[in-house]
Amino acid sequence: MGLVNPNLLGRTIGNGQLRLNAVLGSGSGGVVFLSTDEAGSSSSLYAVKCLLRAPPGTPKHDSQWREIRNHRAMSHHPHIVTLHQVIEEEDYIFLVLDYCAGGDLLNFLADNRALAGNMDRIKTMFLQLIGALMACHKAGIYHRDIKPENIFCNEDGTEIYLGDFGLSTTNAFSQKFGVGSYSYMSPECIHYDVIADGYSARRNDVWSLGPILSYMISGRHPWRVAATTDESFKAFLRNPNYLRTILPLSEKANLLLRHIFTRKEKNRISLEYLRQMVEEIDSFFMSPTEIRQATPEVQYIAATYFPTPLFHISSYGIELAPLDERRIYKPNVAVKAEENAEQPQYTPRPAPAPRVSEIQQINRSDPTNPDGVPSEEGHLAPDLKLPAPPPKIYLPMQRYRRDDPRSSNTPPCTRDRVDAWNLSRFKRAVVRIWE
């Protein structure tokens, strides 16, 4: 964040209690420093988030203290980053947080591939994330920016912690669209295909768990943005089993993601039922037999992401050369019975061109839009370059006259009453004329 003074490195805060030693990361909300406890005897490590203090009465000021209130209210949970202290100085606000030595989940998975093919670890970590989110929703706090960059790990990756409540809200029904990261937003939050007055912040958080689970299983995102301008998302809307054609997902994992990725938010799975399904699932991955019969995209991901001993890659026909070339073994080549018979040859074949629209390899999610301000070109940020939605067609309202007996939309009982009333009026007119 350019507004934070770089001279803060080496500075002590809190009356000399903490010293800022290094920069851990930065984002739209502020800069995070690694600090040591100078006052204590154990020199404990902390992560200190530095916010540029906003003037009182401004929306930014309200947003900063809303983050502090919501984070402090959830600091007691074992899988949420603890907020130890808030230090206010001249131009800055410092949030003293737990230091997670494993870094964020995105870097942990990219560097270690610790979850590749590890069923038990994926289930354990995902259940921890569900438990933290359930506690937030029970307290009436909705995160709205759940993504791997805001999920932190301990040193060995056995525990994860949810953090960064900068975009959280206590409003169950939100009317601020485009809040969060586009790769993890629900269609109703993106506000491009699904047009409504607002959306459920609770169900929007549930949607965000889907791309995270997909990334934990396969190292890939199912799509870049959940809008019909994305070819992968459009294909998923046409074919509910489309994810199994681009990702090595088991049938149960695919069913789990289908319960999360529902176009209508009212049909989306609840966190309680989601936790139950995750606990009962026996495998997130395709079997070697399924991978042998899968599409080339799925076979390529299985060969490059999963450990070779796990799926015995050579058993289903795919091996990796030193230059990561695709080699297809032809087992039907007849072997001569003579002494000098030639062995079956591996026929090299160039790898197919990557289908960027269907297999998205996203190293980092899109930048956040904390204020939820729509761009001039459309509802999304300008970098996505989405076309404008088609113009609405307003059909004229059908007129309905209850006193018109000739109207085909008038119920029979109403027509009888109108006829009786007209007949009585005619009789009264005749009587008056006769008199």
Does 427 appear as a known binding residue?
no
Q: Give CA–CA dist 188/196, Å, rounded.
A: 7
167 Cβ contact partners less than 8 Å away, ≥ 6 residues apart: 143, 144, 145, 179, 180, 368, 370
CB 194 within 8 A of CB 99: no
CB within 8 A of 190, min separation 6: which ones?
177, 178, 182, 225, 226, 227, 379, 380
Taking CA atoms, 236 is separated from 100, 230, 303, 352, in Å, by 36, 10, 24, 22
Closest CA to 35 of 99, 123, 129: 99
The owner of tokens 């008199």 is 435
Closest by CA to 285, choosing from 308, 317, 252, is 252
* The residue count for the chain: 435
Angle between helix 201-218 and helix 271-280 axes, rounded to 10 deg: 20
The dihedral built from the CA positions of residue 240, 147, 62 and 370, taken in this order, carries a sign that is negative
Contact 219, 116 (CB under 8 A): yes
Nearest to 311 by CA among 143, 176, 141, 116: 116
Residue 253 makes CB contacts below 8 A (sequence gap 6+) with 213, 217, 281, 283, 284, 285
- Indicate if 282 belongs to the active site: no
What six digits make up the tokens of 305? 């992401």
d(CA 254, CA 82) in angstroms, rounded, equals 34
3-state secondary structure of 219: coil
Sequence-distant (≥ 6) Cβ neighbours of residue 50 within 8 angstroms: 4, 8, 20, 30, 31, 32, 33, 92, 93, 94
**Distance between CA atoms of residues 260 and 142, nearest Å:** 17
Torsion of CA 167, 171, 177, 178, to 10 degrees: 20
- Of 104, 145, 164, 205, which residue is the catalytic one? 145
Residue 84: strand, helix, or coil: strand
Nearest to 163 by CA among 200, 208, 131, 132: 132
Catalytically active residues are: 145
Q: Which residues are annotated as a binding site?
A: 49
Which residues belong to the annotated binding site for ATP? 49
